[in-house]
Amino acid sequence: MQTDRPSPDDGFHVVPIHSDSDHHNHSDSDLHIHSNSDHQRERILLNAQTSACCNRDLRNQPQANAVGAAALIFLSGGIHIAWSIGFDSVFVELEVTNHVRICWFIAAILGALLGGFFSRWFPYKVLMEFCSLLTITGGIVMAVNGLDLDALLAGRYLNGLANGLAIAPTLAMAGELSVFYKRGTTTSAAEQWPVMIGFFVQIVCSKGWDIQSDFTEEQFQGVISAVLGTIALILAFLLSIESPVDLLEQGDEQGAIGALSRLQIPRAVTAETYDQVRDHRTYLEHHKSLGWCHALPALVRLTVLRCLYALSLSMMVAFTLAWTGTAVYGDSSGPYVLFGFLRLMGSFLSAFAMDSLGRKIPLLLGLVISGGLSFGLASKFTGSSLLTLSDSRMALWLLLVYQLFAGLGFAPSSSYLSEAFPRRLKRPCIAVSYIMEMLVQLLICQVDLSAIGSDSSYVALYFFSLGCLLLAGFLFCVWYMPETKDTTLLQAQFKFQEFVIPA
């Protein structure tokens, strides 16, 4: 690996790394920073756009690989979230207490507190290895014990702790490891894709499982979690790369250059490497003076968005799907599988479009259409408590289409979390947003579904409220969420420092 700066004779343009005094002088003028950064950005974008798409993706593949271990942990978490909100067949086998159902969310909250406020003390690689071991242990505990509520409780606690512990460091790292023109897809693929894949897997298993089998669905969850944790442990050991921003902050410039070279194929130190070093230095210098007052505007926005995300895929949504699906198609698993597939496709489509269309277009499109569909769905449950077959069928298809656009709208939240906050407070802020999301899920799980029975007014109230919140969120995002496509982390931070987004 080349570690010395290339000379002009090698065909590279050498980008000087300014001294601290130079950075101090430059920081006096935001306009100077923006003009230099814009020039670099345009040049790098031009080079990226003129190369073939597959070559560009292959070149930046190590950036996604570096967070691959966390993605597998989140995939196992998606399985447990789906189980928690009602996609299970466990009631046939044993009586589950409310504690067992909500324990994953409790553990995720505890893990997020630890990951958000204490993870900076440990290298990212060590953290991911520890989270992988927690996932493996939880999976084994569930796999080797059949109809045992204590084993199920322990396994779910361990998996929730691993997911909560991994979320803040991973999203913070993913934004720093990615080149600016791939950051949207990388960060969304690190969290949203695996969670939705896990969701889909659990839905398929819960509806296709033979309840007469001695090998239970929960044991299968344990086996899957243990396998995913094992692969995650291997990926964490082989492919995890420390943040070049962290290394620069520690004074290890050569280590930062080496990390940046490992994040591209082939490994080499080019002019773009030094552009990134300079951007990271400016980013660090600017963020030294930023505190909670600068983080608060973004924290409010992202917390609201993540709470809406939790409401869009909750126990009440799963209950409504079961109600309408059973009324129209009986015991068929088709509506459930299509439900999970459409939500997954929405997340996939949004992530692919995030670095071309941007973050804001999928976000606004998803919020406004899913909000309108929520009103249409709620209207089918008003009036008589007994739904007609035609109303049930229409409500079911509205719910299915709603999931497609909800997936489209909420996938950009991962990217926003990775770039919105001042660096020193990024992990705590991500943790706070995630904790609020988990609290919303936990509170909805306290609803006694047996008390609802066949009274459709509760479902109507939920979806009318959700529709109002989603449309209010749409207006909120029009005015208060910036577009951060093709921006460096520093430029994204400038856009998040004001409450109202300039026209």
Select from 106, 110, 140 the least CA-distant residue to 225. 140
- When pLDDT is cut at 50, 70 and 90, the band that residue 15 belongs to is very low
Architecture in CATH for domain 68-240+289-496: Up-down Bundle (1.20)
> Average pLDDT of 308-315?
95
Model pLDDT, residue 21:
39
Query: What pLDDT score does 502 carry?
Result: 54
Determine the Cα–Cα distance for residues 250 and 282; give it in Å rounded to an integer. 15
Percentage, residues of the chain above pLDDT 70: 85
Label residue 178 by pLDDT band (50, 70, 90).
confident
Comparing 23-37, 69-83, 124-138, 265-279, the range with the smallest average pLDDT is 23-37
Q: Is 226's pLDDT higher than 50?
A: yes
Hey, what amino acid is at 30?
A: D
pLDDT of residue 40 exceeding 80, the answer is: no
Question: Closest Cα to residue 371, out of 341, 406, 395?
Answer: 406
Query: For 78-117, what is each residue's pLDDT tens digit?
Result: 999 999 998 987 544 456 788 998 999 999 999 999 999 9
Give me the mean pLDDT over the 344-371 stretch.
93
With bands split at pLDDT 50, 70 and 90, how would you rate the model's confidence at 462? very high
* 274 to 21, 33, 35, 173, 278: CA distances (angstroms): 19, 16, 17, 19, 6
Percent of the chain with pLDDT over 90: 51
- Return the H-helix or E-strand segment holding 288: none
pLDDT tops 70 at residue 179: yes
pLDDT by residue (tens digit) across 320-331?
999 999 999 988
pTM of the model: 0.87
